[in-house]
């Protein structure tokens, strides 16, 4: 059966649509038929030329959720040891830690110093379907995590990359504790997950984000932030006053940066208390430098933690979070704006403009 792929051929160029025959799974692989493939902020950065890619045509996309169409020789289970069968629904991960670098040898595979990505293949070469912007995907079985019963794949499609990345940042930074005051910078999909994650840890959460999309604001409010500030019409003093009021003048325990806006970083530092923790999973491309006051890091003894990747176990934590909090799944599923693969250009444009809370490609 022919399947459509949207092929990236360089920044600021339209996707090239091509049809290829769906392959059978090779040894060690599975082939997944598309359910939903997310447009991550990283994909928007790639299409805008802010993240370098190989100079050959390729199929980008790293948030693929699909159903198992075929299973290759030697494959019996997913990445976490769960039995795999045709028809099972899975999240496919793209990062391949090298297993040899200093960090990998220490078990820190989420920060591999030489990781590869599964989609870095020429789309013209068989079996073609190595990336997420297509109607099927060839994946190493060691890179797929099966969705359990009780998890809506469209809810899981909201942040299958961003959710585990926030989880990893929190893990690196010491976690979240009940009663802490957390400021989330940004209320896109990453920020909405951070809000849900912090509230589930019994934190008080203040969100600084955008009110330009009323639907996004409604979804955010359904996750019950303790306060929200629209960054377009709120001055810094008002946010600082609110944080002070919630913390007896001490400052936030944790700030989570999800907006990707460089100017968010110096403001995030300002919001923290002495010994506060700043988690930075959102600054994923070079959007320019900002000035900071480094003495604030010194005198406030701040702890700043970045995270650009995650482990397969973090994906499992994300899935189990959705399973435990079934009430959140309809909220996450409602984030999705669905586009056929043939409309990948529209999906990227709407994600960039904020018209889609979470753009996903579907059949």
Q: What's the pLDDT band for 283 if we cut at 50, 70, 90?
A: confident
Task: Give the pLDDT confidence of 168-182 residue by residue, as tens digits.
Answer: 999 999 999 999 999
Residue-level pLDDT at 343 = 98
pLDDT at 287: 79
* Angle, alpha carbons 173-81-168 (nearest 5°): 10
Could you tell me the pLDDT band of residue 291, with boundaries at 50, 70 and 90? Answer: very high
pLDDT confidence of residue 285: 76
Alpha carbons 328 and 322: distance in angstroms, whole number:
7
Please, which residues bridge with residue 117 across strands?
A: 95
Q: Rounded to the nearest 5°, which phi and psi values hold at 93? A: -100, 150
User: Contact at 8 Å (CB) between 3 and 57?
Assistant: no
- Do 2-160+310-362 and 163-306 fold alike per CATH? no
What per-residue confidence (pLDDT) applies to 284? 79
List the chain domain ranges: 2-160+310-362, 163-306
Nearest alpha carbon to residue 312 among 184, 190, 196, 165:
165
pLDDT the model gives residue 288: 85
How high is the mean pLDDT of the chain? 96
- In this prediction, residues 198-220 reach a mean pLDDT of 97
Whole-angstrom distance, CA of residue 38 vs CA of residue 76: 27
Q: What is the H or E stretch that residue 340 is in? A: strand 336-340
The model's confidence at residue 322, banded by pLDDT at 50, 70 and 90, is very high
Task: Say what the pLDDT of residue 333 is.
Answer: 98
* For residue 158, pLDDT beyond 80: yes
Phi, then psi, of 83 in degrees rounded to 5: -60, 140
By the 10 Å C-beta count (0-12 exposed, 13-18 middle, 19+ buried), 119 is classed as: buried
Distance CA 82, CA 86 (A): 13
Residue-wise burial string across 308-346, b where 16 or more C-beta atoms lie within 10 A, e elsewhere = bbbbbbbbbbbbebbbebeebbebbbbbbbbbebebbee
pLDDT tens, residue by residue, 226-266: 999 999 999 999 999 999 999 999 999 999 999 999 999 99
Architecture of domain 2-160+310-362 in CATH?
Alpha-Beta Complex (3.90)
pLDDT of 258: 96
Q: How does pLDDT run across 4-21, given as a tens digit for each residue?
A: 999 999 999 999 999 999
The CATH label, of 3.30.230.70, 3.30.70.960, 2.60.40.1250, 3.40.50.720, for the domain at 163-306 is 3.40.50.720
Instruction: Tell me the whole-structure pTM to 2 decimals.
Output: 0.95
% of the chain at pLDDT higher than 90: 94
Task: Give the model's pLDDT for residue 282.
Answer: 76
- pLDDT given at position 308: 87
For residues 329 and 322, give the distance between their C-alpha atoms in angstroms, rounded to a whole number. Answer: 6
pLDDT at 275: 98
- Rounded to an integer, the average pLDDT of 287-302 is 93
Alpha carbon distance 180, 77 (integer Å): 39
Please enumerate in sequence order all residues whose Cβ is within 8 A of that of 106, keeping only pairs 6 or more positions apart, or say none: none
Q: What is the pLDDT of residue 48?
A: 93
- The DSSP call for residue 21 is E
Mean pLDDT of 320-339: 98
Q: What is the pLDDT of residue 270?
A: 96
- Give the HSE-up count for residue 88: Cα atoms under 13 Å, Cβ half-sphere: 21
């Amino acid at each position: 059966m022919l399947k459509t792929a949207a092929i990236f051929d360089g920044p600021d160029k339209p996707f090239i649509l091509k049809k290829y025959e769906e392959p059978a799974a090779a040894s060690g692989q599975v082939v997944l038929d598309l359910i939903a493939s997310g447009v991550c902020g990283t994909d928007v950065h790639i299409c805008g030329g802010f993240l370098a890619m190989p100079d050959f045509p390729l199929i980008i996309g790293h948030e693929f959720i699909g159903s198992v169409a075929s299973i290759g020789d030697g494959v019996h289970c997913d990445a976490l040891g769960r039995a795999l069968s045709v028809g099972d629904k899975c999240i496919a991960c793209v990062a391949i830690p090298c297993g040899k670098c200093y960090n990998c040898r220490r078990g820190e595979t989420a920060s591999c110093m030489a990781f590869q990505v599964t989609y870095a293949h020429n789309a013209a070469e068989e079996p073609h379907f190595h990336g997420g912007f297509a109607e099927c995907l060839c994946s190493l079985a060691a890179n797929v995590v099966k969705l359990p019963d009780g998890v809506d794949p469209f809810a899981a499609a909201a942040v299958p990359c961003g959710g585990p990345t926030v989880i990893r940042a929190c893990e690196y930074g010491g976690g979240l504790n009940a009663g802490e005051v957390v400021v989330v910078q940004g209320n896109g999909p990453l920020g909405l997950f951070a809000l849900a994650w912090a509230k589930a840890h019994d934190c008080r959460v203040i969100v600084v984000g955008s009110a330009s999309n009323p639907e996004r604001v409604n979804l955010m409010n359904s996750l019950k932030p303790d306060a929200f500030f629209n960054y377009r019409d709120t001055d810094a003093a008002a946010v600082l006053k609110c944080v002070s009021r919630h913390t007896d003048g001490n400052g936030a325990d944790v700030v989570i940066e999800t907006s990707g806006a460089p100017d968010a970083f110096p403001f995030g530092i300002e919001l923290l208390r002495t010994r506060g923790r700043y988690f930075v999973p959102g600054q994923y491309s070079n959007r320019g430098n900002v000035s900071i006051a480094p003495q604030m890091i010194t005198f406030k003894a701040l702890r700043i933690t970045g995270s650009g990747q995650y482990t397969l176990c973090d994906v499992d934590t994300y899935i189990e979070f959705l399973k435990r909090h079934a009430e959140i799944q309809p909220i996450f599923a409602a984030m999705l704006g669905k586009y056929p693969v043939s409309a990948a250009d529209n999906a990227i444009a709407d994600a960039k403009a904020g018209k889609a809370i979470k753009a996903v490609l579907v059949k």
